[in-house]
Structure 1
Protein backbone atom coordinates (compact mmCIF):
# COMPACT_ATOMS: atom_id res chain seq x y z
CA UNK A 1 0.00 0.00 0.00
CA UNK A 2 1.15 3.53 -0.71
CA UNK A 3 1.97 5.85 2.18
CA UNK A 4 1.36 9.58 2.60
CA UNK A 5 4.16 11.80 1.30
CA UNK A 6 4.74 14.59 3.83
CA UNK A 7 6.22 17.79 2.40
CA UNK A 8 7.08 21.22 3.75
CA UNK A 9 5.44 23.94 1.68
CA UNK A 10 2.23 25.34 0.31
CA UNK A 11 -0.53 22.95 -0.74
CA UNK A 12 -1.71 25.53 -3.32
CA UNK A 13 1.61 25.00 -5.14
CA UNK A 14 1.70 21.22 -5.64
CA UNK A 15 5.22 19.92 -6.19
CA UNK A 16 4.62 17.11 -8.71
CA UNK A 17 4.42 16.80 -12.49
CA UNK A 18 1.21 14.81 -13.20
CA UNK A 19 -2.39 16.00 -12.87
CA UNK A 20 -3.08 17.27 -9.38
CA UNK A 21 -6.20 17.63 -7.25
CA UNK A 22 -5.89 19.96 -4.27
CA UNK A 23 -8.47 18.93 -1.73
CA UNK A 24 -9.70 20.74 1.36
CA UNK A 25 -12.65 20.79 3.73
CA UNK A 26 -15.59 23.17 3.50
CA UNK A 27 -18.53 23.64 5.85
CA UNK A 28 -22.20 22.86 5.21
CA UNK A 29 -23.49 26.42 5.76
CA UNK A 30 -21.94 28.17 2.77
CA UNK A 31 -19.23 29.97 4.71
CA UNK A 32 -15.93 30.67 2.95
CA UNK A 33 -13.64 33.19 4.58
CA UNK A 34 -11.16 31.69 7.04
CA UNK A 35 -8.34 29.19 6.98
CA UNK A 36 -6.94 27.36 3.95
CA UNK A 37 -9.74 28.61 1.65
CA UNK A 38 -8.14 32.06 1.85
CA UNK A 39 -4.94 30.71 0.26
CA UNK A 40 -7.03 29.09 -2.48
CA UNK A 41 -9.01 32.29 -3.13
CA UNK A 42 -5.84 34.35 -3.28
CA UNK A 43 -4.58 32.15 -6.09
CA UNK A 44 -7.81 31.28 -7.97
CA UNK A 45 -11.32 32.81 -7.88
CA UNK A 46 -13.19 29.82 -9.32
CA UNK A 47 -13.28 27.40 -6.34
CA UNK A 48 -14.95 29.99 -4.11
CA UNK A 49 -17.35 31.16 -6.84
CA UNK A 50 -18.39 27.58 -7.64
CA UNK A 51 -18.79 26.71 -3.94
CA UNK A 52 -21.04 29.74 -3.38
CA UNK A 53 -23.12 28.87 -6.47
CA UNK A 54 -23.42 25.29 -5.26
CA UNK A 55 -24.57 26.48 -1.82
CA UNK A 56 -27.16 28.84 -3.36
CA UNK A 57 -28.50 26.12 -5.64
CA UNK A 58 -28.93 23.81 -2.64
CA UNK A 59 -28.44 20.88 -5.02
CA UNK A 60 -26.71 18.04 -3.23
CA UNK A 61 -25.07 20.57 -0.89
CA UNK A 62 -24.68 18.16 2.01
CA UNK A 63 -22.07 16.65 4.29
CA UNK A 64 -20.09 14.03 2.37
CA UNK A 65 -20.49 15.67 -1.05
CA UNK A 66 -17.67 16.96 -3.24
CA UNK A 67 -17.31 19.53 -6.00
CA UNK A 68 -14.34 19.52 -8.36
CA UNK A 69 -13.29 22.77 -10.02
CA UNK A 70 -10.59 23.05 -12.67
CA UNK A 71 -8.20 25.95 -11.98
CA UNK A 72 -5.27 25.26 -14.32
CA UNK A 73 -4.58 22.83 -17.14
CA UNK A 74 -3.26 20.18 -14.73
CA UNK A 75 -4.67 21.41 -11.39
CA UNK A 76 -8.16 20.92 -9.97
CA UNK A 77 -9.52 21.92 -6.58
CA UNK A 78 -11.88 19.63 -4.70
CA UNK A 79 -14.29 21.33 -2.29
CA UNK A 80 -15.30 18.65 0.24
CA UNK A 81 -18.15 19.24 2.66
CA UNK A 82 -16.76 17.62 5.77
CA UNK A 83 -17.58 20.15 8.42
CA UNK A 84 -20.91 20.89 10.14
CA UNK A 85 -21.26 24.63 10.74
CA UNK A 86 -18.13 26.55 11.79
CA UNK A 87 -17.95 26.56 15.58
CA UNK A 88 -17.66 23.96 18.32
CA UNK A 89 -21.15 23.32 19.66
CA UNK A 90 -22.32 23.64 23.28
CA UNK A 91 -21.53 19.95 23.90
CA UNK A 92 -17.91 20.58 22.90
CA UNK A 93 -18.20 18.80 19.55
CA UNK A 94 -15.94 20.45 16.94
CA UNK A 95 -17.26 21.15 13.40
CA UNK A 96 -15.31 18.29 11.77
CA UNK A 97 -17.41 15.26 10.72
CA UNK A 98 -15.07 12.34 10.16
CA UNK A 99 -17.69 10.15 8.48
CA UNK A 100 -18.38 12.95 5.97
CA UNK A 101 -14.64 13.35 5.29
CA UNK A 102 -14.44 9.61 4.61
CA UNK A 103 -17.40 9.81 2.21
CA UNK A 104 -15.79 12.75 0.38
CA UNK A 105 -12.43 11.02 0.01
CA UNK A 106 -14.18 7.85 -1.21
CA UNK A 107 -15.90 9.91 -3.93
CA UNK A 108 -12.58 11.48 -4.85
CA UNK A 109 -10.96 8.09 -5.65
CA UNK A 110 -12.76 7.66 -9.01
CA UNK A 111 -11.87 11.17 -10.15
CA UNK A 112 -8.21 10.77 -9.19
CA UNK A 113 -7.91 7.42 -10.95
CA UNK A 114 -9.77 8.63 -14.04
CA UNK A 115 -7.50 11.68 -14.35
CA UNK A 116 -4.38 9.82 -13.23
CA UNK A 117 -4.02 12.57 -10.62
CA UNK A 118 -2.28 12.78 -7.28
CA UNK A 119 -4.02 14.35 -4.28
CA UNK A 120 -2.51 17.35 -2.48
CA UNK A 121 -3.77 18.81 0.80
CA UNK A 122 -2.88 20.59 4.00
CA UNK A 123 -3.61 18.57 7.18
CA UNK A 124 -7.32 18.67 6.36
CA UNK A 125 -9.78 19.03 9.20
CA UNK A 126 -7.12 19.89 11.77
CA UNK A 127 -7.31 23.67 11.72
CA UNK A 128 -10.57 25.55 12.18
CA UNK A 129 -12.61 22.32 11.90
CA UNK A 130 -11.06 21.14 15.17
CA UNK A 131 -10.20 17.60 14.08
CA UNK A 132 -7.25 15.35 14.99
CA UNK A 133 -4.72 14.16 12.44
CA UNK A 134 -4.68 10.82 14.32
CA UNK A 135 -8.27 10.36 13.10
CA UNK A 136 -7.82 11.83 9.61
CA UNK A 137 -4.70 9.88 8.64
CA UNK A 138 -6.34 6.41 8.87
CA UNK A 139 -9.28 7.72 6.79
CA UNK A 140 -6.83 8.79 4.05
CA UNK A 141 -5.18 5.36 4.28
CA UNK A 142 -8.36 3.33 3.91
CA UNK A 143 -9.77 5.48 1.09
CA UNK A 144 -7.13 7.00 -1.18
CA UNK A 145 -4.03 4.95 -0.36
CA UNK A 146 -5.77 1.57 -0.43
CA UNK A 147 -6.98 2.47 -3.92
CA UNK A 148 -3.48 3.29 -5.08
CA UNK A 149 -3.92 7.07 -5.18
CA UNK A 150 -0.77 9.10 -4.47
CA UNK A 151 -1.24 11.55 -1.55
CA UNK A 152 0.86 14.56 -0.59
CA UNK A 153 0.28 16.39 2.69
CA UNK A 154 1.83 19.83 3.11
CA UNK A 155 2.93 21.44 6.33
CA UNK A 156 3.06 25.18 5.71
CA UNK A 157 6.15 26.87 7.11
Structure 2
Protein backbone atom coordinates (compact mmCIF):
# COMPACT_ATOMS: atom_id res chain seq x y z
CA UNK A 1 0.00 0.00 0.00
CA UNK A 2 1.32 3.46 -0.81
CA UNK A 3 2.29 5.93 1.85
CA UNK A 4 0.70 9.04 0.38
CA UNK A 5 1.90 11.45 3.04
CA UNK A 6 4.40 13.77 1.41
CA UNK A 7 3.91 12.13 -1.96
CA UNK A 8 3.68 14.18 -5.12
CA UNK A 9 -0.02 14.73 -5.79
CA UNK A 10 -1.37 12.26 -8.29
CA UNK A 11 -3.62 9.28 -8.70
CA UNK A 12 -2.50 5.85 -7.51
CA UNK A 13 -4.52 2.69 -8.09
CA UNK A 14 -4.13 0.09 -5.34
CA UNK A 15 -5.68 -3.25 -4.48
CA UNK A 16 -7.57 -3.09 -1.22
CA UNK A 17 -10.56 -1.72 0.63
CA UNK A 18 -11.22 2.01 0.28
CA UNK A 19 -13.04 1.95 3.63
CA UNK A 20 -9.68 1.14 5.24
CA UNK A 21 -7.31 3.71 3.69
CA UNK A 22 -3.62 2.82 3.81
CA UNK A 23 -1.77 6.08 4.23
CA UNK A 24 -0.30 8.36 6.86
CA UNK A 25 -1.82 11.64 7.89
CA UNK A 26 -5.35 12.97 7.45
CA UNK A 27 -7.53 10.99 5.04
CA UNK A 28 -10.89 11.52 3.36
CA UNK A 29 -12.81 8.50 2.08
CA UNK A 30 -14.94 9.70 -0.85
CA UNK A 31 -17.93 7.90 -2.33
CA UNK A 32 -21.01 8.69 -4.40
CA UNK A 33 -24.53 8.71 -2.93
CA UNK A 34 -27.92 9.02 -4.58
CA UNK A 35 -30.29 11.99 -4.29
CA UNK A 36 -33.25 10.04 -2.85
CA UNK A 37 -31.91 9.18 0.59
CA UNK A 38 -31.25 5.52 -0.17
CA UNK A 39 -28.34 3.83 1.63
CA UNK A 40 -28.03 0.08 1.62
CA UNK A 41 -26.17 -1.33 -1.40
CA UNK A 42 -22.67 -1.12 -2.76
CA UNK A 43 -19.71 0.59 -1.11
CA UNK A 44 -21.84 2.15 1.64
CA UNK A 45 -22.20 -1.30 3.20
CA UNK A 46 -18.43 -1.38 3.83
CA UNK A 47 -18.63 2.08 5.41
CA UNK A 48 -21.57 1.09 7.62
CA UNK A 49 -19.71 -2.00 8.85
CA UNK A 50 -16.97 0.30 10.20
CA UNK A 51 -18.92 3.36 11.38
CA UNK A 52 -22.55 4.33 11.91
CA UNK A 53 -21.94 8.07 11.48
CA UNK A 54 -21.78 8.41 7.69
CA UNK A 55 -25.15 6.70 7.17
CA UNK A 56 -26.84 8.51 10.07
CA UNK A 57 -25.54 11.89 8.91
CA UNK A 58 -26.50 11.21 5.27
CA UNK A 59 -30.04 10.21 6.24
CA UNK A 60 -30.43 13.29 8.48
CA UNK A 61 -29.03 15.49 5.70
CA UNK A 62 -31.59 14.03 3.27
CA UNK A 63 -34.48 14.37 5.76
CA UNK A 64 -33.62 18.04 6.29
CA UNK A 65 -33.10 18.78 2.59
CA UNK A 66 -35.76 21.48 2.50
CA UNK A 67 -33.50 23.61 4.70
CA UNK A 68 -29.98 22.59 3.67
CA UNK A 69 -27.74 22.07 0.64
CA UNK A 70 -28.64 18.40 -0.01
CA UNK A 71 -28.88 17.71 -3.73
CA UNK A 72 -26.86 16.75 -6.77
CA UNK A 73 -23.31 18.09 -6.49
CA UNK A 74 -23.38 18.54 -2.69
CA UNK A 75 -20.77 17.09 -0.32
CA UNK A 76 -21.17 16.23 3.36
CA UNK A 77 -18.02 15.57 5.38
CA UNK A 78 -18.43 13.23 8.38
CA UNK A 79 -15.56 12.73 10.82
CA UNK A 80 -15.23 9.06 11.80
CA UNK A 81 -11.77 9.01 13.44
CA UNK A 82 -9.44 11.79 14.58
CA UNK A 83 -7.70 11.75 11.18
CA UNK A 84 -10.37 10.18 8.91
CA UNK A 85 -13.46 11.73 7.32
CA UNK A 86 -16.06 10.25 4.97
CA UNK A 87 -17.25 12.46 2.11
CA UNK A 88 -20.86 11.67 1.20
CA UNK A 89 -21.04 13.07 -2.35
CA UNK A 90 -24.42 13.29 -4.08
CA UNK A 91 -23.58 12.26 -7.62
CA UNK A 92 -26.39 10.06 -8.82
CA UNK A 93 -30.05 10.72 -9.62
CA UNK A 94 -32.17 7.98 -8.11
CA UNK A 95 -31.06 4.36 -8.08
CA UNK A 96 -32.33 2.83 -11.32
CA UNK A 97 -31.44 3.09 -14.98
CA UNK A 98 -34.29 4.67 -16.89
CA UNK A 99 -34.98 6.71 -19.98
CA UNK A 100 -32.30 9.22 -18.88
CA UNK A 101 -29.73 6.41 -18.73
CA UNK A 102 -27.86 5.18 -15.66
CA UNK A 103 -28.21 7.08 -12.35
CA UNK A 104 -24.68 8.58 -12.53
CA UNK A 105 -24.54 12.34 -13.08
CA UNK A 106 -21.05 13.31 -14.19
CA UNK A 107 -21.68 17.04 -13.78
CA UNK A 108 -22.70 16.46 -10.16
CA UNK A 109 -19.62 14.32 -9.53
CA UNK A 110 -17.48 17.11 -10.98
CA UNK A 111 -19.06 19.66 -8.60
CA UNK A 112 -18.56 17.24 -5.70
CA UNK A 113 -14.89 16.77 -6.56
CA UNK A 114 -14.36 20.53 -6.77
CA UNK A 115 -15.81 20.94 -3.26
CA UNK A 116 -13.86 17.91 -2.04
CA UNK A 117 -10.59 19.49 -3.21
CA UNK A 118 -11.31 22.44 -0.92
CA UNK A 119 -11.98 20.16 2.04
CA UNK A 120 -8.83 18.11 1.35
CA UNK A 121 -6.71 21.26 1.13
CA UNK A 122 -8.13 22.66 4.38
CA UNK A 123 -7.48 19.36 6.18
CA UNK A 124 -4.17 18.67 4.37
CA UNK A 125 -5.70 15.27 3.62
CA UNK A 126 -5.24 12.65 0.95
CA UNK A 127 -8.38 11.26 -0.72
CA UNK A 128 -9.24 7.55 -0.90
CA UNK A 129 -12.07 6.12 -2.99
CA UNK A 130 -13.42 3.19 -4.90
CA UNK A 131 -14.02 3.86 -8.61
CA UNK A 132 -16.70 6.39 -7.70
CA UNK A 133 -19.84 6.49 -9.79
CA UNK A 134 -18.92 3.27 -11.59
CA UNK A 135 -20.68 0.65 -9.50
CA UNK A 136 -24.42 0.81 -8.92
CA UNK A 137 -24.51 4.34 -10.41
CA UNK A 138 -23.58 2.83 -13.79
CA UNK A 139 -20.85 5.29 -14.74
CA UNK A 140 -17.74 4.71 -16.82
CA UNK A 141 -14.30 5.14 -15.23
CA UNK A 142 -13.06 6.60 -18.52
CA UNK A 143 -15.39 9.57 -17.83
CA UNK A 144 -14.78 9.80 -14.07
CA UNK A 145 -10.99 9.45 -13.95
CA UNK A 146 -10.30 12.68 -15.90
CA UNK A 147 -12.60 14.53 -13.48
CA UNK A 148 -10.66 13.13 -10.50
CA UNK A 149 -7.35 14.13 -12.09
CA UNK A 150 -8.54 17.64 -13.00
CA UNK A 151 -10.54 18.49 -9.87
CA UNK A 152 -8.32 16.81 -7.25
CA UNK A 153 -4.86 15.85 -8.50
CA UNK A 154 -4.33 19.06 -10.47
CA UNK A 155 -5.27 20.98 -7.30
CA UNK A 156 -2.48 19.29 -5.34
CA UNK A 157 -4.53 16.50 -3.73
CA UNK A 158 -3.08 12.97 -3.57
CA UNK A 159 -5.69 10.37 -4.54
CA UNK A 160 -5.73 6.60 -4.06
CA UNK A 161 -8.31 4.61 -6.02
CA UNK A 162 -8.95 1.18 -4.52
CA UNK A 163 -9.82 -1.92 -6.50
CA UNK A 164 -11.29 -4.40 -4.05
CA UNK A 165 -9.99 -7.91 -4.20
Name the structure 2 match of 1:100: 108
Measured after TM superposition, the shift of residue 60 of structure 1 is 1.3
Which stretches in structure 1 are left out of the alignment for 5+ residues?
A: none
What SS does the aligned partner of 1:34 have? coil
Which stretches in structure 2 are left out of the alignment for 5+ residues?
A: 1-7
Q: Separation in 1 of the partners of 2:62 and 2:119?
A: 22
Q: Separation in 1 of the partners of 2:84 and 2:133?
A: 21
Name the structure 2 match of 1:83: 92
Name the structure 2 match of 1:67: 76
The normalised TM-score by structure 1 is 0.97
Measured after TM superposition, the shift of residue 25 of structure 1 is 0.2
**Of 140, 144, 150, which aligns to 2:148?**
140
Measured after TM superposition, the shift of residue 154 of structure 1 is 0.3
Deviations 1:34-89 (A, max 9, x none): 00000000100000000000000012111000000000011000000000000001
- Moved beyond 2 Å, runs of 4+: none
Q: Does 1:54 align with 2:61?
A: yes
Q: Separation in 1 of the partners of 2:12 and 2:25?
A: 15
Q: Does 1:15 align with 2:18?
A: no
Q: CA RMSD in A?
A: 1.0
What SS does the aligned partner of 1:109 have? helix
What SS does the aligned partner of 1:146 have? helix
Measured after TM superposition, the shift of residue 10 of structure 1 is 0.3
